[in-house]
Amino acid sequence: MTRKALLRALVYLSLLLAGAVVLLPLLAVFLTSLKTSEEIGQGSGALTLPHNWLNYHNYVTAFRAGKMLRAFWNTAFILVFSIGGTVLIGSMAAFAIDRFTFRLRRLVIALFLIGSLVPSVTTQVATFKIVDNFGMFDSRWAPIVLYMGTDIVSIYIFLQFIRGIPISLDEAARIDGANTFTIYWRIILPLLKPAIATVVIIKGITVYNDFYIPFLYMPSENLGTISTSLFRFKGPFGAHWEDISAGAILVMVPTLVVFLFLQRFIYNGFTRGATK
């Protein structure tokens, strides 16, 4: 074997090892989600195969006792409003900043720029009181407003994109008698589609996965999102790992499906989102 071939083999070996490290914990949970509590009680190892591959019983328990249907509904509600709001707010802010010259423009830009540096984990202690004062505590509007209001990355993404749209389009429309809102709504927004796709994907995944904000602002059990409802599995299901595993798999499946279908967009989206 030449040195080059040996090197190549080592590279593949490292990739296989990394793949195993990523997949093994997930595989163990998947296998466990298909086992009965007796199987686990008998000391069936984490990586042994289940007796019945079609045992969906634990999923039913997770859905019913774990209130996962309610959780998916709450998460969907929050997703729709916060993503819609983020797209409108972000694109309007970018439109105003890029297409108008006005006094204090630099100050506005600086406010957004500095705001993007403040990590939201640090400010929740004080944000909590403000949300509470608005009477939004323990309602789905608290996370919706927070997701909309603290997303400066989206404004960046829209701003990057809006610059590429020629101003001559705005001018042509203006000559035809369009006002600025028509220009924004009929010309800019439709042309922003690729940027909107990026924002929807990044925002969607972030909101779907967020735990901190719903945990802090929506303690009621019937306001559980998928994160907080899954978190509550820790208590009542105690050591019932088959139910907990089923819950965890339920939460991961939508992510996997979205990832498989939108891979290219997701890679591009996160690369763009993080470096801007």
Among residue numbers 184 through 213, which ones bind other proteins (CB under 8 A)?
184, 205, 208-209, 211-212
Binding mask 83-112 for other proteins (x = CB under 8 A): ------xx-xx-xxx--x-xx-xx-xx-xx
**CB of residue 21 vs other proteins: minimum separation in angstroms?**
7
Counting residues that bind other proteins (by CB under 8 A) gives 93
**CB of residue 263 vs other proteins: minimum separation in angstroms?**
7
**CB of residue 41 vs other proteins: minimum separation in angstroms?**
13
- Cα three-residue angle 227-233-238, rounded to 5 degrees: 155
37 touches other proteins (CB under 8 A) = no
Distance in angstroms (rounded) separating the CA atoms of residues 182 and 173: 9
* Largest distance between two CA atoms of the chain: 79
5 touches other proteins (CB under 8 A) = no
**CB of residue 62 vs other proteins: minimum separation in angstroms?**
12
Backbone angles phi, psi at 219, to 5 degrees: -70, -20
DSSP letter, residue 50: P
Tally the residues of the chain.
276
Binding mask 213-232 for other proteins (x = CB under 8 A): ---x---------xxx-xx-
**CB of residue 85 vs other proteins: minimum separation in angstroms?**
9
DSSP letter, residue 139: S
267 touches other proteins (CB under 8 A) = yes
Q: Quick one: 222 or 255, whose CB is closer to other proteins?
A: 255
Amino acid identity, position 174: R
The helix or strand, by DSSP H or E, that contains position 36, with its residue range, turns out to be none
Question: Which has the closest alpha carbon to 74: 276, 222, 176?
Answer: 222
Which residues 6+ apart lie within 8 Å of 135 measured at CB?
none
3 touches other proteins (CB under 8 A) = no
**CB of residue 54 vs other proteins: minimum separation in angstroms?**
22
22 touches other proteins (CB under 8 A) = yes
262 touches other proteins (CB under 8 A) = no
Distance in angstroms (rounded) separating the CA atoms of residues 74 and 232: 15
Distance in angstroms (rounded) separating the CA atoms of residues 217 and 176: 48
155 touches other proteins (CB under 8 A) = yes
